[in-house]
């Protein structure tokens, strides 16, 4: 596997940890042949994986939906993740990608022909730009640019976006709309024409001191999204879920996106038009602070235990939206 960059990536393939350049995966693995795999992406803070349990819960839900067994016990998988973090020669915080693939089998769609699923754990360096500085509450208040993609999100009656699948063409094609426009993210609408999510993020819209995010049916139940739904009421932010038409992005006071790697990231331009005053708004900053406080509670302020080896580097009507919504938070998990 050739990685055409200077980014450091290490891979734990079925228990063997090597640099990505030395890892070998069979071309007959159905994860490669058909995208028949599921995955989770986790970020570490202070060398601790943030909400690892929630990520593994969601991984299991994805596995159940595609009838794919976990090739080792959950406890063993957790141990392999921690061992990988302990042994890679990287000092800074990293990203972790856990992939469960259908495994090796003949060409064809019969999943019974693939008796041995495989697992791969990627530990990757967070290169400059992977975590935008605008995601920090201490930033100068800038944000990113997004576009509304012409690509629609997969219908949950076809390939449910709640399955965090290795079949990513829907997102790849939408992201091309962003790069073609010089933007950093693309927002997809669902099959009904309402906002769904970004290619690798969830989307939130603030209007008249209320924050709304798309209904959970037909999107990925983001971990960071869930954190905000839980934490927002604690800091005096009213937040809920509803059907949001794309036009709401242009009349919003604030827009932001969330993801496990990027955290809470302000959006200051949509399709080239400024959002609100064109800078991060006060609600977004308050939620960035709430998210950062949650990170500190969960991950502390120093290196996690045993993560270093000695001697190694280691409900109401939404104004302007025209639809009904719940005004209270809903736990997504």
Domain ranges of the chain: 9-125, 133-300+318-325
Q: Per residue in 186-202, pLDDT tens?
A: 999 999 999 999 999 99
- What is the predicted pLDDT for the residue at 302? 55
Same fold, 9-125 and 133-300+318-325: no
3-state class (DSSP) for residue 163: coil
Q: pLDDT exceeding 70 applies to what percent of the chain?
A: 89
Helix axes of 223-231 and 52-65: crossing angle, nearest 10 degrees: 130
**The pLDDT value given to residue 6:** 73
CA distance 216 to 61: 15
Asked whether 322 and 63 are in contact (CB, 8 A), the reply is: no
Instruction: Quote the pLDDT of residue 69.
Output: 98
**Contact in structure between 306 and 247 (CB atoms under 8 Å):** no
What is the overall mean pLDDT for the chain?
Answer: 90
State the Cα–Cα distance between residues 177 and 310, nearest whole angstrom: 47
pLDDT in tens, 39-93: 999 999 999 999 999 999 999 999 999 999 999 999 999 999 999 999 999 999 9
pLDDT of residue 5: 65
Q: Which residues pair with 188 in a beta bridge?
A: 197
142-177 burial string, b = 16+ CB within 10 Å, else e? ebbbbbbbebebbeeeebbbbbbbbbeebbeebbeb
The DSSP call for residue 112 is: G
Task: Give me 101's structure tokens.
Answer: 């693939």
- CATH for the stretch 9-125: 3.30.470.10
Q: Is 72 helix (H, G, I), strand (E, B) or coil?
A: coil
Phi-psi region of 251 (alpha: psi -120 to 50; beta: other; left: phi over 0): alpha
CATH, domain 133-300+318-325, list 3.40.710.10, 1.10.3720.10, 3.40.50.620, 3.20.10.10: 3.20.10.10
pLDDT on residue 300: 86
Closest CA to 65 of 142, 165, 182: 165
3-state SS string over 279-332?
CCCHHHHHHHHHHHHHHHHHHCCCCCCCCCCCCCCCCEECCCCCCEECCCCCCC
Q: Which token pair is 62?
A: 């994805």
- The structure's pTM equals 0.89
pLDDT along the chain (333 residues), means of 10: 70 97 96 97 97 98 98 98 97 97 98 97 95 96 98 95 96 98 98 97 97 96 97 97 98 98 98 97 98 95 45 33 38 30
Name the DSSP letter for residue 201.
S
Q: Which two structure tokens, joined as six digits, stand for 41?
A: 């992406």
Residues contacting residue 198 through CB under 8 Å, at least 6 positions apart: 146, 185, 186, 187, 188, 257, 259
- CA-to-CA distance for 243 and 191, rounded, in angstroms? 12
């Amino acid at each position: 596997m050739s990685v055409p960059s200077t980014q450091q990536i290490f891979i734990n393939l079925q228990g063997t940890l090597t640099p990505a350049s030395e890892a070998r995966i069979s071309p007959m693995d159905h994860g490669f042949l058909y995208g028949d795999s599921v995955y989770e992406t986790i970020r570490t803070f202070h060398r601790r994986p943030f909400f690892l349990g929630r990520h593994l819960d969601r991984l299991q839900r994805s596995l159940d939906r595609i009838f794919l067994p976990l090739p080792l016990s959950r406890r063993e998988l957790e141990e392999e993740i921690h061992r990988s973090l302990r042994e890679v020669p990287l000092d800074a915080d990293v990203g972790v990608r856990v992939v469960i693939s259908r495994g090796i089998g003949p060409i064809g769609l019969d999943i019974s022909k693939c008796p041995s699923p495989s697992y791969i754990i990627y530990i990757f360096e967070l290169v400059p730009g992977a975590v935008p500085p605008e995601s920090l509450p201490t930033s100068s208040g800038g944000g990113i640019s997004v576009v509304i993609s012409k690509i629609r999100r997969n219908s949950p009656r076809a390939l449910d976006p709640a399955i965090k699948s290795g079949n990513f063409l829907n997102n790849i094609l939408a992201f091309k709309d962003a790069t073609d426009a010089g933007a950093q993210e693309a927002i997809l609408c669902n099959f009904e024409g309402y906002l769904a999510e970004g290619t690798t993020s969830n989307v939130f819209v603030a209007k008249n001191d209320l924050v709304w995010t798309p209904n959970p049916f037909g999107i990925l139940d983001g971990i960071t999204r869930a954190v905000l739904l839980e934490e927002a009421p604690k800091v005096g932010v009213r937040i809920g879920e509803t059907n949001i038409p794309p036009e709401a992005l242009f009349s919003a006071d604030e827009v932001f996106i969330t993801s496990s790697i990027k955290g809470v990231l302000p959006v200051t331009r949509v399709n080239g038009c400024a959002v609100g005053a064109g800078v991060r708004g006060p609600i977004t900053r308050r939620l960035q602070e709430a998210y950062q406080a949650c990170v500190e509670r969960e991950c502390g302020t120093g290196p996690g235990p045993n993560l270093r080896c000695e001697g190694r580097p280691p409900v109401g009507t939404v104004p302007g939206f025209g639809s009904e919504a719940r005004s209270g938070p809903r736990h997504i998990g």
